[in-house]
Amino acid sequence: MGCNFSLNIRPFSYKLGTKLYLCSLKIKNMSQDVRVRFAPSPTGPLHIGGVRTALYNYLFAKKLKGTFILRIEDTDQNRYVPGAEQYIIDALNWCGIPYDEGPGKEGGYGPYRQSERKDKYMAFAEKLVESNHAYYAFDSATSLDEQRKAAEAKGETFIYNWHNRNELDNSLNLTEEETRSRIDAGEDFVIRFKSPQDETLFLHDIIRGAMSIDTNILDDKVLFKADGMPTYHLANIVDDHLMEITHVIRGEEWLPSLALHVLLYRSFGWEAPQFAHLPLIMKPVGKGKLSKRDGDKMGFPVFPLEWKDPNTGDISMGYREDGYLPQAVVNFLAFLGWNPGTEKEVYTLEGLIQDFDLEKVHKGGAKFDPEKTKWFQQQHLQLLDEATITGLFMDFLDKKGISENKEYVARVVHLIKERAVFVADLWDSGNFFFERPHIYEEKAAKKAWKEDTAPLMTELTNIINKVEDFSAQNLSAIVKPWIHEKGVGFGRVMQPLRLSLVGEMKGPDVFDIMALIGKDKTLERLRFAIQTL
Ligand code: GLU
């Protein structure tokens, strides 16, 4: 039998009398070109969990020289949020993981928005009715609701499937003519999948391995809705088939749909793609999935880019606006559910493409760690060359209305970049290179500025005024012996000097600061301090 699905299945103990469909599912041939898709619904901003799904799809495709497709699953018009599709596209581009095919990038399999493929789905649903894998159901919402309530009253759950479908209002219990005339009369109907009875279905997932499921627990899911639109299940399978998707890589929340999806492929007689369900991203503390609330509470974003809700105007923080580098975001997302099995943690996108392995993705949930996220950011900032950091810092200064020449900014960056995590940290630790201190930190002033400090600083000002060669080395060679000569402690001079230049007790070597800001500014700041303090 030409089926390689069984190769992926671990041995099972087979129950006699149960129908086995071990080999009835056709799996796509591995020699085919890899085609994967990221298929978000544009219902709001893309959560970082979604970005990770996109990233894993991207890495898998690029490693195997395949195609990464973006398909917008927007069949549920009630949940459509304007701007969400553009947000998804912007987020992928910012992360540096653009799609090869998708909206605006035709690849011969479009359109890539399900709303533009509307007319394709009905015929597929009808095909399943013809082959007796699906049926028309006329049950009204009220009648289904009543039955649901009646079941609940008995402590049971109402399931529409093999055990009751012969008693419900559907085409299985009507003649063809009756069904046709009700449809022609304009009655509302849905098309339901006829899930099989008494079968053990064997499923395979690249990450989770083999699973089996008793089909008796499945309900007859709606494939086509009364409003003329397909449900997610039908549209998703039809499109994956038409777009020749070879691997479906998606979040764990879709694992419960796997049985239905596999059954749909079988019913259509189509080859199924391979499936990989990614682990959930969990809260940093406590149990459960990472949510926006966790981020708000602990002060970190759960979205790649800032998002303004079009209805409420509420703003949600984004990694980009928080000052993260896209390569840091990509690196930390890659490690939420995967690692190479070595000590290596700092990765470029190219490195990830090389080392990423879907089979090494973990089954268990991945705990989100905001501190580790910052650590990745620091590593990636420090990996940048000084010219690049200088460019980023110049943009930052520009937004503050500060324009300085590049050479000067580069020298500042060289002095202070070492401990920076974000570009904004360069400002926090080096703002005094661009403006004189507005206030003197109280505690530092108290400690550094004593009664005899002003005359000492005045004298120092006169000495500095005479210095021609304003290099750090020369300044040090002049000021240090003078302090020695005065017979005051080193700190009695250096501390108020630093306070005058910086406003507090931070910053690199004082002589480096003086050399960089130059003679005029040094003198001006000293005089100002003498006047004010
Ligand atoms: N539209 C689904 C979502 O929003 C796609 C799930 C899948 O990848 O099959 O996640």
Task: Please say if the pLDDT value at position 342 is more than 70.
Answer: yes
Distance between CA 457 and CA 51 in Å, rounded? 57
Residue 6 pLDDT exceeds 60: no
Is the pLDDT at 16 greater than 50, yes or no? no
Q: Residue 24: what pLDDT?
A: 43
Ligand 1 atom at minimum distance from 43 CA:
4
Spelled out in words, what is the top-level CATH class assigned to the domain 118-277? alpha beta
- Residue 220's nearest CA partner among 193, 254, 191 is 193
Instruction: Express each pLDDT in 91-114 by its tens digit.
Output: 999 999 999 999 999 999 999 999
* Closest approach atom of ligand 1 to CA 261: 9
Measure 452 CA to ligand 1 centroid, in angstroms: 72
pTM assigned to the model = 0.90
Closest-CA residue, ligand 1 atom 10, reads: 40
Å from CA of 513 to ligand 1 middle? 55
pLDDT by residue (tens digit) across 280-307?
A: 999 999 899 999 999 999 999 999 999 9
Distance (Å) from CA 237 to ligand 1 centroid: 11
Listed by start position, the domains of the chain span 118-277, 384-433, 442-532
**pLDDT (0 to 100) of residue 83:** 94
Q: What is the pLDDT of residues 222-258, one digit of tens each?
A: 999 999 999 999 999 999 999 999 999 999 999 999 9
Residues 295 and 273: their CA atoms lie apart, in Å, by 35
* Residue 27 vs residues 22, 212, 303, 389: alpha-carbon distances, Å: 12, 17, 35, 49
Among residues 120, 289, 292, 521, which one is catalytic? Answer: 292
CA 88 to chain CA mean position, Å: 10
Provide the mean pLDDT of the chain: 93
Q: How confident is the model at residue 132 (pLDDT cuts 50, 70, 90)?
A: very high
Fold designation for 384-433? Helicase, Ruva Protein; domain 3 (1.10.8)
Q: Select the CATH number that applies to the domain covering 442-532 from these four: 1.10.10.350, 3.40.980.10, 3.90.79.10, 3.30.230.10.
A: 1.10.10.350
Please report, to the nearest 10 degrees, the dihedral formed by the alpha carbons of residues 406, 412, 415, 420 taken in order. -100
Atom of ligand 1 nearest to the CA of 73: 1
Backbone φ, ψ for residue 240 (5° rounding): -60, -40
Rounded to the nearest angstrom, the distance between the alpha carbon of 40 and the centre of ligand 1 is: 5
Nearest CA to ligand 1 atom 6: 39
Where do the DSSP E strands lie in 110-252?
134-137, 190-193, 199-205, 209-214, 222-224, 247-251
Q: Which two tokens stand for residue 151?
A: 């079941």
CA–CA separation, 174 and 132 (whole Å): 14
- Residue 126's SS3 state is helix
Pocket of ligand 1 (CB under 6 A): 39-41, 73, 232, 236, 250, 254
Residue 367 annotated as catalytic: no
Q: How far is the CA of 39 from the centre of ligand 1 (A)?
A: 5
Average pLDDT over residues 67-84: 92
Q: At what angle do helices 453-466 and 490-502 cross, to 10 degrees?
A: 80
CA distance 112 to 104: 9
pLDDT tens, residue by residue, 402-414:
999 999 999 999 9
10 Å CB burial of residue 127 (0-12, 13-18, 19+) is: middle
Residue 80 has pLDDT above 90, yes or no: no
Which of 35, 60, 73 to mutate to test ligand 1, by most ligand atoms within 8 A of the CB atom? 73
CA angle at 28 for the pair 25 and 31, rounded to the nearest 5°: 150
Ligand 1 pocket, mutate which of 85, 238, 239, 250 (most atoms under 8 A from CB): 250
Alpha carbon dihedral 10, 273, 44, 77, in 10-degree steps, equals -120
